[in-house]
Amino acid sequence: MKKNDIPYVWTDKKRTVFGLPLSFTRYFLTETKLITRKGFFNIEEDELEIYKIDDKKLNFPFWQRVFSCGTIIIYSRDRDTPVKEVKSVKNVRKVSDMIDQYLNDVRDKYGIRGRDLINCDGHDDDDNY
């Protein structure tokens, strides 16, 4: 499959010195997945289904903020990546809003909003037995 065959809605590289994209870490957002690709010779790719995202927060460290960058920290129900950091990217608020938009679209499409509060065994978190 060619790179152009996947409909990315956003893509960026991790920014390093002076806010320049001089890294071998690349982020891709599709309508259903957030993909992180790391490496040059040996490439490691991690996919996170957007509907599994529980919460996220924005982090603006001083040196990233100087170069108009920031980090998105994502908490998810994904087994291999419960916490994912989209480090040092431009337009952090815009990217965060895009993730929210596609998260809501996917949850509406599959009707999975109510399951966020229920454990795998089908009981609410507050039930005591």
| Residue 100: inside a domain | yes
Count up the domains in the chain and report the number: 1
DSSP lists the bridge partners of residue 84 as 74
| Residue 105: inside a domain | yes
pLDDT at 90: 94
| Residue 103: inside a domain | yes
| Residue 26: inside a domain | yes
| Residue 52: inside a domain | yes
| Residue 115: inside a domain | no
CATH number assigned to the domain comprising residue 89: 2.30.29.30
Cα(65)–Cα(81) distance, integer angstroms: 26
Structural domain range at position 38:
3-109
pTM of the prediction?
0.81
Q: The tokens of 69 are what?
A: 């960058």
pLDDT digits (tens, 9 = 90+) for 59-96: 999 999 999 999 999 999 999 999 999 999 999 999 99
Strands (E) in 1-129, as ranges, are 10-13, 25-29, 33-38, 44-49, 53-59, 69-76, 83-90
| Residue 20: inside a domain | yes
